[in-house]
Amino acid sequence: MMRQPEITYQEAKEKVEKIRGFYIHLTVYVLVNTMLCIINFLTVPQFLWFFFPLCGWGIGITAHAIATFASNKRFGQRWEEKKIKKYMERN
């Protein structure tokens, strides 16, 4: 069985890795969509097709942000512990 400081370190490490992954995703999103916008304006400025990948990928970025930052407050470890305790009491 792991000691408490090791568990805390591992949880912190996983959280930092999730945040890092989100920022990498966000950086790629900004760079690629900037490039698509430039290509759009240089080739067919009368039809703004770059909005389609911008919006579609934006939905994915938003979901990634929620999963990384918001869900841990609502469905974090304390919530998991309550649910485990609840299911254990039923059985």
Range of the domain at 55: 4-90
pLDDT top residue among 60 and 79: 60
CA neighbor of 61 nearest in space, from 30, 27, 25: 25
Report how many domains make up the chain: 1
- Model confidence at 59: pLDDT above 80: yes
The mean pLDDT value of the chain amounts to 86
- Model confidence at 1: pLDDT above 80: no
pTM: 0.72
- Model confidence at 83: pLDDT above 80: no
Question: Would you say 65 and 23 are in contact if contact means Cβ atoms under 8 Å apart?
Answer: no
- Chain Cα centroid distance, residue 70: 9
CA 21, 27, 66, 40 torsion: positive or negative? negative
Question: Would you say 54 and 36 are in contact if contact means Cβ atoms under 8 Å apart?
Answer: yes
User: Looking at residue 73, what is its pLDDT?
Assistant: 56
User: Looking at residue 46, what is its pLDDT?
Assistant: 97
